[in-house]
Structure 1
Amino acid sequence: MKKLIALLALASLANLAAAADVVGNAKAAENKVSMCIGCHGIPGYKATFPEVYQVPMLGGQSAQYIQNALAAYKKGDRKMPTMRGIAASLSDQDMADIAAYYSQQK
């Protein structure tokens, strides 16, 4: 039983390490950002649900900031319903790719 617990613990650590080692690929994101452009690609765009909200431009933001924001939407720590729905559909790799793409934009 102790060996099984130790094996499960090691497997869990390997999964955490793999998630932490996700590297964004901006080229791979070119097919993933179409859902972002409709709001984040329009200068001065304001969403009206659930309240009037100034939609930020993503180009030039740091990749880590974008990844953290997407993860917070997915987890529910950030409350914008549209973003929560979009982030819920993204894998860790998708988030890293999108973050890499927008961090390279100006």
Structure 2
Amino acid sequence: MKKIYALLVLAGVFNAAAAADIVGNPKAAAAKVEQCIGCHGISGYKGTFPEVYRVPMIAGQSAKYLESALNAYKKGDRKHPTMRGIAASMSDQDIADVSAYYAQMSPATVQK
């Protein structure tokens, strides 16, 4: 029983270390952000599903904040159905890459 417990502890440490090794690459995100641009790339854009809301601008946001938001959508802690579907399809590396991409952008690069 002690051996199984030790293996489980080691597996948990390895998984935590592997997750900590994920580093966002903004260049790798170029093909991953195509579905983001339609809503988050237009200043003042309002969406209408599931109700009318102002779509937040994410260019220039902190990568840590964006990762946290995307992970919350992925887990279902944030409830917007479109964002939940998009985030659920993303790997941890995708989330890190997209977050790094938008964090390095200037808000001035958004369409007005």
In which range does the TM-score fall when normalised by the shorter chain? over 0.9
Structure-1-length-normalised TM-score: 0.96
Q: What residue ranges of structure 2 are gaps of 5+ in the alignment? A: 107-112
Amino acid at match of 2:8: L
Amino acid at match of 2:82: T
Amino acid at match of 1:49: F
Q: 2:12 & 2:28 partners in 1: Cα distance?
A: 27
Amino acid at match of 1:5: Y
| Sequence identity percentage | 71
Structure-2-length-normalised TM-score: 0.91
* 1:72 aligned onto 2:81: no
Q: How many residues align?
A: 106
Q: Which residue does 2:83 correspond to in 1?
A: 83
Q: 2:22 & 2:13 partners in 1: Cα distance?
A: 15
Q: Which residue does 1:50 correspond to in 2?
A: 50
Cα RMSD after superposing both structures? 0.9
Instruction: Note the C-alpha offset of 1:20.
Output: 2.3
Secondary structure at 1:51 match in 2: coil
Instruction: Note the C-alpha offset of 1:4.
Output: 2.2
Q: Which residue does 1:4 correspond to in 2?
A: 4
Q: 1:57 & 1:32 partners in 2: Cα distance?
A: 17
Q: What residue ranges of structure 1 are gaps of 5+ in the alignment? A: none
Q: 2:55 & 2:21 partners in 1: Cα distance?
A: 30
Instruction: Note the C-alpha offset of 1:21.
Output: 2.3
Q: Which contiguous aligned blocks of 4+ residues in structure 1 show a shift greater than 2 angstroms?
A: none
